[in-house]
Chain A
Amino acid sequence: MSHLFEKPRIRLSGDRAILVEYGDAIDPAVNEKVRAMTALVKESLPEGVEAVIPAYRNLSILYNPLVTSPDRILPHLLGLEARLREIEVPKPRTVEIPVLYGGECGPDIGFVAEHSGLAVDEVIALHAGTVYPIYMIGFMPGFCYLGGLDSRIHTPRRKTPRTLLPGGSVGIAEAQTGMYPVDSPGGWQIIGRTPLRLFAPERENPFLYEPGDRIRFVPVSSASYNRIYEGEGR
């Protein structure tokens, strides 16, 4: 069953933003539509549009009300949508994230394995064997809401959250997997850590990925972890 709306649903979010909704569920087809529309809108930003923020099933368009209004933006959007079939939307990029699984970097991997009735190696193979779409980035800089975690390794959150997770920690919470870009408290089951700096504000591009990209986790040895870590200029 498709969760795609036939026509987008428009919602007002105050006097400087509209929400354009393409479906009502977390669904790859709905998010693909969001991704395609985001790419098209960004290609030729209408005058007065200040930001386009894609999410699971909608995009938020922030505008300057002294310059434009929803009456001007919406026809433009519908025009773009009508041309979706003819236009080639760029394919999503896949960004590889090296991860050192288990050990000190992934203290909860044993719990995930036990909970799933699998061996630790099988958990790693399943987690690293999927290409995850980035449905949305939010909550903190660079924090991805990823889709597609294999149901065999869905695991509840920890009963007691940790007060400090090192930046780069990779974890599982229920049906979600993700990475903590910077040091923060958190209740996810931590299975590994990436040596990459996922948010480096002083870098020309502070981020390694954007919404709509895909993430693939690549298991690395502790020797390569250390080598990459050293090269990240902390």
Chain B
Amino acid sequence: MDAFRVVSTGSLTTVQDLGRYGFIDRGVPPSGALDLAALRIANLLVGNPEGAAALEITMAGPVLEVLCDAADVALTGADMDLSVNRQAAPMWRTLRVRKGDLIRIGRAGSGCRACLGVTGGIDVPLVMGSRSTCVKAKIGGVEGRAIRKGDILRRLPADPLRDPRSVLPDVIPAYSADIVLRAIPGPQEEAFAKGLDTFFGSSYDITPEADRMGYRLQGPPVHHDEGFPQSIISEPTIPGNVQLPADGQPIILLVEQTTGGYTKIATVISSDIPKIAQAVPGNRVRFQRATLEEAHRVCREQALRMQALEAHLVPLR
């Protein structure tokens, strides 16, 4: 059924779900929401399965006119001004909207990417198992592109919740301009016996070249040890891999890339990818060395927190 008409677009809004992981070996990037925690919570707040498709809104949001009789929406992630019919509305809770309502999502005050969940989830065709948009490959989402003024966005049929929900305030992240990312050395850490100290001991600025493919950083250059070539035989890349081209400036690879030929000094742990998703140019990044065991412990803790969150949703009536 029809859900929204796009009255005006923000800077970049795409349909995303948990991603398309079945075809990486054929060169299809995984895509998916960059801040998966925000996606999951947005879906929880409207009663959807955690992987339902939502809108990922970058930096500045769209204005949407509601086309269906009634639905729930919830906005999570980057802190954006939100209003319904020009009345300020809170993020991180269920909002009941009705036909003709105007949802206006403004600029991000802090953070970079917000997720708008809607009852049933956004209904676009499943492409190779996912609704995620990959703009580069022109697949998924709305015709393989960002949403545009005039688009009609559909949702899958589902009933709105009986009672709106909210999360406990401590669940809502505070986005800092100084970001610490935990990273595991490798896969090619042996090329940087000296460089690892620089890498883990320095602070890097996020440059304007930062998107869903990757974030380019700038700071003290990390050089390859003598005798190690700067490029390797091309191989698959994983979201979070930090590659180092010849200029020694790190690039964090994200979800719209499948292969690369530069050496990778370290890999950001998967639980910290949402922090990158919320980072904007001018923020500073420091890498903190982590072990595989620590990273897996953090994954388990995060999964438990998400379960607890579900159990402790606050009914608002």
Contact = CB atoms under 8 A, between A and B. Distances in A.
A16 B28 CA distance: 18
A182 interface: yes
Given A55-B259, A201-B139, A12 B186 contact: yes
- Sorting the interface of chain A by its residue count into under 10, 10 to 19, 20 to 34 or 35 or more gives 35 or more
Contact of B292 (A12, A201, A207): A12
Given A11-B186, A55-B234, A141-B137, A16 B27 contact: no
Contacts of A138: 27, 234, 236, 258-259
Given A12-B267, A15-B296, A141-B137, A136 B234 contact: yes
B236 A60 contact: yes
Interface in A122-170: 136-143, 145
A216 to B, nearest CB: 19
A162 to B, nearest CB: 18
Contacts, number: 122
A52 interface: yes
Contact of B187 (A11, A25, A52, A66): A11
B1 interface: no
Interface residues of B, number: 40
Given A12-B184, A139-B27, A207-B26, A56 B234 contact: yes
A64 to B, nearest CB: 9
Given A138-B234, A206-B128, A13 B27 contact: no
A62 B188 contact: no
Contact of B270 (A15, A53, A139): A15
B138 interface: yes
9 contacts: A12-B184, A56-B234, A57-B235, A136-B234, A137-B27, A138-B258, A141-B23, A142-B26, A206-B26
